[in-house]
Amino acid sequence: MEVLFSGLVGIFFAAALYLLQEGRPLGLQTEEGLLAGKRRLVREFERQALLRLLRDCGGNVSAAARRAKITRRNFHRLLAKYRIEPRGFKSVTEKSH
């Protein structure tokens, strides 16, 4: 069965589905409860996804947002939420221009 997802949320659910199919743990901590665990996992996933997208796109927010299939405005909102500065991902040659 093939499941198609789009955007960051889709990537998160696809990753969770893969882990479940492989029998691997999702990283939920029993004492925190399902909803709190879900919120924590989503935060961790979003932050890691933003960092990877920025790294892969050399700090280019427009390219990273396109790759994530979200608007640039929403990408900036997420960057602010996690206090991530895209300038730190620009290559040395781009910084000098």
Q: What is the mean pLDDT of residues 91-96?
A: 53
| Domain residue limits, the chain | 36-92
Q: What is the mean pLDDT of residues 6-22?
A: 62
Distance of CA 40 to the CA centre of its chain: 13
pLDDT digits (tens, 9 = 90+) for 18-74: 566 666 566 666 677 778 877 888 888 899 999 999 999 999 999 999 999 999 999
pLDDT of res. 90: 85
Query: pTM here?
Result: 0.67
